[in-house]
Amino acid sequence: MDNLLEAGPAGRAAVPGTQAIRRLVDVLKVLAEYQEAGLRFVEVAELCGLQQPTAHRMLKALQAEQMVERDAATRRYRLGPLAFELGIAAAPQFNLLEMSAPSLRRLAEESGDTAFLFIRRGNDAVCIDRVLGHYSIQTPVVTIGSRQPLGVNAGGLAMLLALSSSEVDTILASVAMRLGVYGNCDEADIRRLVARGRELGYASIGEMAVPGVTAMGLAVITQFGSPAAALTMAATTSRMTPQRQAELLPVLRAEVDLLAGLLYRR
């Protein structure tokens, strides 16, 4: 039996592999403690009592899984978007919901239409909150908790716009087989929307997943330039015209900037 166990803390037996898990958790805890300033890999190694090559390999593996991010300019590591997403999944009361609630209310009040909050989970956009406006016709077509491939709704499209072209290519290749159920759209449709969104400076999508509805959105960007969430507004296509979108864009951008400032102390 001894060969099936390894020593844990204080001599306690543990299943094989727990030492590696403990080391990973220690790394994540240290990065959380120094999240604002970030840490170089040599500092992570020192604080966690790891050999430098070991710390470097662990950080690279965590980066590949988006649990950590590395600032290209400073070479410092911080917790990444997946750590953020897992926090929301584990605790619905996570402060993103609390912090974003006033923005959603203001967007719904200012526009009169339905405002939504999306987060990214893998290659999907998940709606985690929404607020109805005062206009007589509302479009609460996306329910809280529902998920769709990135690019199919305004929130997912906004987050695609914040990614590099190579990242967009990888995501679309992964979700391609799922796109047909959303208004018979395909990769080419999403690519056209991404190209148009880059020109406009925001996501705009209509008459695709939900006929008769058009929505606009902007991503909430982390301090590392990756999308953590997105705020959107949706209305009937006849109401959400290009001219009206241009009028609402400053309002949407102000709330996105405010939320990013609250989340990342910008």
CB atoms within 10 A of CB 166: 8
Q: What is the pLDDT of residue 13?
A: 43
pLDDT score of 232 more than 60: yes
Q: Is the pLDDT at 14 greater than 70, yes or no?
A: no
Q: What is the pLDDT of residues 109-168, one digit of tens each?
A: 999 999 999 998 888 998 999 999 999 999 887 888 888 999 999 999 999 999 999 999
Residue range 47-52: average pLDDT?
A: 92
**Cβ-Cβ contacts under 8 Å for 14 (sequence gap 6 or more):** 5, 6, 7, 8
Is the confidence at residue 7, as pLDDT, over 80? Answer: no
Check residue 80 and give its pLDDT.
87
- What pTM does this model have? 0.69
Query: Which domains are seen in the chain, by residue range?
Result: 2-79 (1.10.10.10), 85-264 (3.30.450.40)
State CA 93 to chain mean position distance: 17
More confident residue, 217 or 17: 217
Asked whether residue 1 carries a pLDDT value surpassing 60, the answer given is no
Distance CA 20, CA 159 (A): 33
Give the phi and the psi of residue 139 in degrees, each rounded to 5.
-130, 65
Q: Are 5 and 13 in contact (CB under 8 A)?
A: yes
- Check if the beta carbon of residue 118 is closer than 8 Å to that of residue 125: yes
* Cβ–Cβ under 8 Å, residues 68 and 196: no
pLDDT of residue 243: 97
* Residue 76 scores a pLDDT above 50: yes
Give percent of the chain above pLDDT 70: 90
C-alpha to C-alpha distances, 50 to 38, 40, 42, 46, 53, nearest whole angstrom: 18, 13, 9, 6, 8
Above 50 in pLDDT, residue 2? no
Q: What is the pLDDT of residue 15?
A: 46
The pLDDT assigned to 87 comes to 67
Model confidence at 252: pLDDT above 60: yes
* Residue 205 reports pLDDT greater than 80: yes
Q: What pLDDT is stored for residue 144 in this prediction?
A: 87
Instruction: Supply the pLDDT for residue 51.
Output: 93
The amino acid present at 112, given as its one-letter code, is G
